[in-house]
Amino acid sequence: MAKRLHLIGLVAALSVAVATPASATEESRMSLEEKVGQLFVTYAYGATADTTDPAHVAANRKELGVDNAKQLIEKYHLGGVIYFAWAGNTATPAQTAGLSNGLQAASRLPLLISTDQEHGVVYRVGEPATQFPGSMALGATRSPALAHEAGRIAGGELRAMGINQNYAPDADVNVNPLNPVIGARSFAEDPGLAARLTAAQVEGYQRGGVVATAKHFPGHGDTNVDSHTGIPVINHSREQWERLDAPPFRAAIGSGIDSIMTGHLVVPALDPSGDPATLSKPIITGLLREKLGFRGVVVTDSLGMAGVRQKYGDARVPVLALKAGVDQLLKPPNIDLAYNAVLKAVRDGELTEARIDESVRRILKLKRQRGLFANRYVDPNPVVGVPSSLRAAQDVADRGVTVLRNSALPLADKPAKDLVTGWGTTAEPAPAKLAQSLTRRGAATTVLPTGAKPTQAQIDAAVAVATDLNVVITNNASAEQQQLVKALQGTGKRVVVIGVREPYEAASLTGTYLATYSYARPALEAAVRVVYGEVSPRGKLPVTVPGHFAFGHGLTWRI
């Protein structure tokens, strides 16, 4: 199948080359409808391009007006498709590769196939692909070399599955502990550290063969509003923006990044109009293009998010984004409405076809640079998660674990019995993963997951079985999670808290506390290694925990 698809791609490419004079540009051979289609990136449900699965067909009809991704591409001449686990796109590496090949075969021009594989707390492709612990864990290592290697491995695995554009790394500088949407997705609160790691990871991803995408320009790190549900306002002065927010984006551009994603956030010092950056010509064209000199592809964050929808209607948003200077329009809430709104804007003269051509040229240039015109297909049996890659992920995790407070470690003895309790979900069974690491070390382990808000009955049950070692997993510790920790500490037995997201929660907790910044399997294994004294903790806080722990804090000891 892969060989046949490869030959189809080569024949198509040769046919175009023979039929078209060398001086002609690709966009000159395209209809207006095809050009506008190249600007859109959206999702479709299904494990295959031509899915007939009743549930996926029904979902596609309801949300997209078609049966499957093949019909969607044919109807709107899409330039890109984005994958999600919830859409059934990334069940296994072989399934994902097959979907990618099917989508590419359905399109006259090669597609940019994208996903959000930041690792850590945001990922769309799970095991057996290599799972890295994410940006803030890398920030705790302070190592550009590790950031580069993580990007190279992750990029190579995505490309092997036919995903050629990754919406990572997150270049936001998380200076606000109350930030509800970035947090551990950021490398650090320090602009210099964030810039070094952003640049390194950009180079790693692109060396691995995928388009890297720094986000969310002009910087989403200082807000207490989630742009999925509201409109964040960043009240940084121009000088503060230059000092705090700009360095990672400048570094990404300096490293030759292919793509930058806009943020749906208002920055009055950069544009006093009140428009979100995605729709702001002063920010996208004036600042990003002209001042910072970015010549690559600009992609919007999802156009279904409240941060970009509240001021203007869904028909206006894609038109205004193009007028601002963006190239790719990601995940509009109504693809038919958005596509036809752009066509109408061109036919009515609000947008010129020359403006559409500018974006189409950038997109096609990127596809050529990434080798998609030469060969858009991949091996139907991709190899991911090889031992060397898993070791690299474990090394990042081991070096990132940060001990903020300690009264019990390393263990002087190997406990015969362990309890693992606290945060976990059906989709993210962190207690079960951690228990597997403990069990491998010979302990009889009881697992009592409680979710984000343990009930009193769950707390009582955990206290009733408290044993030699009690490990509590916390995730932005709610009042209920805090109560669970206190109740177990009240038994007088050893309690270790492992925080798997932002470390700011440590201010509300007492006792031994380790930050992993992630609930990926290597991060949980690394925490157990530290607890058992198999590795020395080396992580340094990449953020400040106000009133408690300074940037750079991290306890260590020799093994």
Tens digits of residue pLDDT in 239-281: 999 999 999 999 999 999 999 999 999 999 999 999 999 999 9
Predicted confidence (pLDDT) per residue in 450-497, tens digit: 999 999 999 999 999 999 999 999 999 999 999 999 999 999 999 999
Query: Looking at 172, 301, 327, 398, which residue is catalytic?
Result: 301
DSSP string, 168-187: --B------TT-SSSGGGSS
Domain ranges of the chain: 2-23+32-369, 401-531
**Mean pLDDT value of segment 51-56:** 98
Beta carbons of 82 and 106 less than 8 angstroms apart: no
Query: Looking at 6, 228, 395, 548, which residue is catalytic?
Result: 228
- Alpha-carbon span 20 to 393, nearest angstrom: 47
pLDDT at position 25 is 67
- Alpha-carbon span 137 to 114, nearest angstrom: 24
Question: From edge to edge, which strands make up the β-sheet containing 40-42?
Answer: 297-299, 259-262, 211-217, 165-166, 112-115, 80-82, 40-42, 329-330
pLDDT at position 17 is 36
Closest C-alpha to 189, from 255, 253, 135: 135
Indicate the pLDDT class of residue 45, thresholds 50, 70 and 90: very high
Active site residue 301: yes
Query: 2-23+32-369 in CATH: which number?
Result: 3.20.20.300
Q: How does the average pLDDT of the chain come out, rounded? A: 94
pLDDT at position 558 is 85
The number of CA neighbours under 13 Å toward the Cβ of 249 is 31
**Three-class SS of residue 340?**
helix
DSSP string, 103-114: HHHH-SSPPEEE
**Three-class SS of residue 417?**
strand
Q: Tokens 């919406």, residue?
A: 167
Torsion angle, alpha carbons of 84, 159, 521, 182, to 10? -60
**Mean pLDDT value of segment 226-238:** 92
Indicate the pLDDT class of residue 290, thresholds 50, 70 and 90: very high
**Which class in CATH covers the domain with range 401-531?**
alpha beta
